[in-house]
Amino acid sequence: MSKQIDINDLNIYYGNFLAVEGVNLTVRANSVMSFIGPSGCGKSTVLRCINRMHEVVPGARAEGAVRLDGENIYGPNVDPVLVRRTIGMVFQRPNPFPTMSIYDNVVAGLRLEKTKGDKRNLDEVVESSLRGANLWEEVKDRLKKPGASLSGGQQQRLCIARAIAVEPKVLLMDEPCSALDPISTLAIEDLIRELRERYTIIIVTHNMQQASRVSDMTAFFNLAAVGKPGKLIEVGPTQQIFTNPQEKQTEDYISGRFG
């Protein structure tokens, strides 16, 4: 069901600025990988390359290959729209569509792209996606209310429900908890542990406890100086990265953060 991701020699540019250089990385199917590293080292940039959202920024481009179960998503005839259907994304700030109800938000991806499913079908999708995002019990009586009427944490779970409603194989999350309170954060972390059964997940986080709580593998990115390209320094099992890193930079970063 879920898929493996292999990144080969990925160089990522904004215009002429090389933002990230030479990334090689494998994310196994049904595992959670977290990206950590200082701000500006290119975590979001790499993440956005994995579902071809990077090129949405004017002038942005990427060189190299990102393979989804062996198929290069940067291949010549690949349709980015289809890539994004397969590889869903949750953003740092909750961004439900303001014109739509909770219900419509969840099925937005289906309504806007597939031919209209019959009503019962959509109802089922809404329930299963909201259950999948641990939100069903809280909103089942007010599905027709605007998505913006929910709290920040609920909105973020709504965005997760929206992302999984189109049945992607991979879920990318860019600091999904950084705008949330601790309780909502725990709810989302629980959710990530559940979602691992069905998806390959990559999560960017600034919170190392969070990385160690939810992820199997951790990748540490760093940059030599501002204006220099970010690089992948080290990747390994989360336990190992946090207790016994192989690279000095990783150790400095982690010990710096842990005091």
Partner 1 sequence: MSVVETQKAGLEGQLSGRRLPRWSTPALAGGALIVGLIVQLTGWTVVGLAPGVIAAVVFLLGQAIASLAIEGRRHSKDRIATTLIYATFVVALTPLLWILITVLVKGLSVFDWTFFTSTMRNVSPRQPGGGILHAFLGTLEQVGIATLVSVPIGLLAAIYLVEFGKGRLKFWISFFVDVMTGVPSIVAGLFIYTALILTGVLQQSGFAAALALCILMIPVVIRSSEEMLKIVPNDLREAALALGVPKWKVILRIVVPTAISGLITGAMLAVARVAGETAPLLLTTFLAQDINLNAFNGSQTSLPTFIWDQISRGTSSSVNRAWGAALALILFVLIIYAAARILAARFAPKSR
Residue ranges binding partner 1 (CB under 8 A): 51, 53, 56, 58, 81-86, 88-89, 91, 93, 95, 97-99, 108-109, 112-113, 145-146, 148-149, 159, 162-163, 166
Task: Name the residue nearer to Mg ion (CB basis): 1 or 57.
Answer: 57
Contact map string, positions 209 to 248, toward ligand ADP, x by CB under 6 A: ---------------------x------------------
Q: Residue count at the site for Mg ion (CB under 5 A)? A: 1
Q: Which residues contact 92 (CB under 8 A, 6 or more apart)?
A: 174, 175, 176, 178, 179
Q: How many residues make contact with ligand ADP (CB under 6 A)?
A: 12
Which of 27, 36, 41, 172 binds ligand ADP (CB under 6 A)? It is 41
Report the number of secondary-structure helices (H) and strands (E) in the chain: 10, 10
State the sign of the Cα–Cα–Cα–Cα dihedral 238, 239, 245, 249. positive
For 208, the enclosing helix (H) or strand (E) is helix 208-214
Among 57, 237, 243, 255, the residue binding ligand ADP under the rule CB under 6 A is 57
From the list 42-50, 74-82, 105-113, 119-127, the region that binds ligand ADP by CB under 6 A is 42-50
List the beta strands (DSSP E) in the chain.
5-14, 17-27, 32-36, 60-68, 71-72, 87-90, 170-174, 200-204, 217-223, 230-237
Measured from the CB atom, the residue of 143 and 186 that comes closer to partner 1 is 143
Closest contact distance (angstroms) between CB of 155 and Mg ion is 19
Cα 82 versus chain centre, distance: 17
**Residue of 44, 101, 184, 205 interacting with ligand ADP (CB under 6 A):** 44
44 binds Mg ion (CB under 5 A): yes
**Gyration radius of the chain over CA positions:** 18
Q: Give min distance, CB of 74 to partner 1, in A.
A: 17
Task: Quote the CA–CA distance of 163 and 157 in Å, as a whole number.
Answer: 10
DSSP letter for 147, please. G
Residue ranges in contact with Mg ion by CB under 5 A:
44
Residue ranges in contact with ligand ADP by CB under 6 A:
14, 19, 37, 39-45, 57, 230
